[in-house]
Structure 1
Amino acid sequence: MVKFFIDPGHGGTDPGATRNGLQEKNLTLQISKKIRDMLGEYENTQVRLSREGNQTLTLNQRTNAANAWGADFLLSVHINAGGGTGYEDFRYNTLSASSTTGRIQSAIHSAVMVAIRGFGVSDRGAKSANFHMLRESNMPAVLTENLFIDTPQDANLLKRADFIEAMARGHVNGLANAFGLKRKVTTKPVTPPKPPVTQPKPSVPTNPKEDDDMLERAVVINGFADFPAAERLALYLKAPIYLRSIVTGQKVAKELYIVGGTKEGMVANKVTLLSGADRFETAAAVANFIK
């Protein structure tokens, strides 16, 4: 069981940043609730929010709650301000990019940028800082800054339901990749056969209809060593990145692009192998494909 503690920044008497008819506290709660609901699509997950409504909470109350619950990961969701544009996220500044927290941050960052690629959002990078939520948590923690509320072009995106949905989905895809989450298997009810007609009309065979919710394409990696090459490919294809352990034996997209490893266990209409003997040959295979 993986326990995720999601912290919607600000709230109550603290509205956070405000501009362009928006309040940070409302946006962070909206995004956080969608992240919680989407994480419910995966097996063996528990999610707790620091606030479910417009409550006023201190920073200590938030980290104390996460620590007392024994969360495995803390995600603090914020909206930026200060005249910039784009998305960025932070880990605690004493931790390297290769640390456990750094690898989780990288997975989230990559997946978010892929999810919102079509909206023309600037990538401000994966960064580090001495923030309370990152410093005082007993578990790996990442703080995300989801666009600038005081920049009109960013504010216009934050007013769109499809953008908020994509932003939340990017966070969840990143967490699923980082923690090796598996989607819950749902079974569709069986429809009883219709009684035969006396003079049946001849039917033309058709291919099974693809699930309406099925992704067009996805990138699959063996491990985090394949991330640099896979990230380039994912941006090119506008596709999410999954760990092999998540998609083995499951159909998560119509097309799969394998970066590192083999086609074994991959289920899709089309599987493209972009792997070499080592990560350098794999990166070269990806580069040739993109060209």
Structure 2
Amino acid sequence: MGIALTGMTISYHAVEAADTRIYIDPGHGGSDPGASANGLQEKDITLKIALKTRDILNEQYSGHTIKLSRTSDVTKSLNERTNEANNWGTNFFVSIHINSGGATGYESYTWNGSYANKERTNAIRRTIHNETVGQTGFIDRGAKEANLHVLRKTSSPAILTENGFIDNAADADKLKTDAFIEEIAQAHADGIAKALGLPAK
């Protein structure tokens, strides 16, 4: 009986310690491919980055739990994503995307509205933004604001990252390699850990 209670106590404290809830949203999926060019579809790349980011966070950092909006090629509405994150009680929401429009580089977004945690949201975003630009060598296209559903409707601090341009041949060539996907994911994981104060294992 005492052993069982001790085990329960350890389990309880383990759950309590992992109290930073991170919701990772690979953009698009299923019937919504996102942008397509150079033999790539945005939905596939965002999923690869998201899964790798999750794995790196779990392998290298502690003090958190992670939920993904999708772990395979399924269709999920924007409302489903934000409702799920809010109902779960997420502490941080990141939506991962690949850009299009023929340019090159990295940019990130927070909501352009007026809200209570805007200063904290922008501080978190700045840390992740700088980490990603620094580790990947992407041209820095700036930290921006926009009226996007996943940023507006998430109750926690929320950011959206745009990791290169799928219709830029040089960016696309990099995005086709596992090594570069890992660089983006490592940068996201390190930035998230630094911004949210997650201890390294």
> What is the distance in 2 between the residues matched to 1:177 and 1:183?
10
TM-score, structure 2 normalization: 0.87
| Residue aligning to 2:177 | 160
Deviation sequence 1:105-142 (CA, Å, 0-9, x none): 0000010011112xxx2110111100000000010000
The answer on whether the counterparts of 2:118 and 2:157 sit within 8 Å (CA) in structure 1 is: no
Are 1:23 and 2:41 counterparts? yes
| Residue aligning to 2:128 | 108
Q: 2:161 aligns with which of 144, 151, 164?
A: 144
- Quickly say closer, same or farther: Cα 1:140–1:98, change in 2 above 3 A: closer
User: Which aligned pairs between 1:93-104 and structure 2 lie closer than 5 A?
Assistant: 93-94=112-113, 99-104=119-124
Give secondary structure in 2 for the equivalent of 1:99.
helix
- Quickly say closer, same or farther: Cα 1:123–1:75, change in 2 above 3 A: same
> What is the distance in 1 between the residues matched to 2:114 and 2:30?
32
Percent sequence identity over aligned pairs: 49
Q: 2:199 aligns with which of 161, 182, 195?
A: 182
| Residue aligning to 1:258 | none
Are 1:123 and 2:140 counterparts? yes
> What is the distance in 2 between the residues matched to 1:50 and 1:154?
25
> What is the distance in 2 between the residues matched to 1:160 and 1:181?
28
Q: 2:63 aligns with which of 40, 44, 69?
A: 44
- Quickly say closer, same or farther: Cα 1:20–1:133, change in 2 above 3 A: same
- Give, as a single letter, the amino acid of the residue that structure 1 aligns with 2:108: D
- Quickly say closer, same or farther: Cα 1:74–1:68, change in 2 above 3 A: same
5+ long unaligned stretches in structure 2: 1-18
Structure 1 stretches of at least 4 aligned residues deviating more than 6 Å after TM superposition: none
Give secondary structure in 2 for the equivalent of 1:173.
helix
Give secondary structure in 2 for the equivalent of 1:46.
strand
- Give, as a single letter, the amino acid of the residue that structure 2 aligns with 1:14: D
Q: Return the structure number with greater relative CO, CA threshold 8 A, min gap 6.
A: 2
TM-score, structure 1 normalization: 0.61
Deviation sequence 1:229-252 (CA, Å, 0-9, x none): xxxxxxxxxxxxxxxxxxxxxxxx
- Give, as a single letter, the amino acid of the residue that structure 1 aligns with 2:175: L
User: Which aligned pairs between 1:196-215 and structure 2 lie closer than 5 A?
Assistant: none
> What is the distance in 2 between the residues matched to 1:11 and 1:95?
30
Give secondary structure in 2 for the equivalent of 1:52.
coil
- Give, as a single letter, the amino acid of the residue that structure 2 aligns with 1:39: L
> What is the distance in 2 between the residues matched to 1:38 and 1:129?
29
Deviation sequence 1:81-127 (CA, Å, 0-9, x none): 1111110000001259970000000000010011112xxx2110111
Give secondary structure in 1 for the equivalent of 2:167.
coil
The answer on whether the counterparts of 1:95 and 1:101 sit within 8 Å (CA) in structure 2 is: no
Give secondary structure in 2 for the equivalent of 1:53.
coil
Q: 2:111 aligns with which of 92, 107, 110?
A: 92
Give the RMSD, CA atoms, in angstroms.
Answer: 1.4
5+ long unaligned stretches in structure 1: 185-291
Q: 2:150 aligns with which of 133, 136, 143?
A: 133
Are 1:171 and 2:188 counterparts? yes
Give secondary structure in 1 for the equivalent of 2:51.
helix
Give secondary structure in 1 for the equivalent of 2:102.
coil
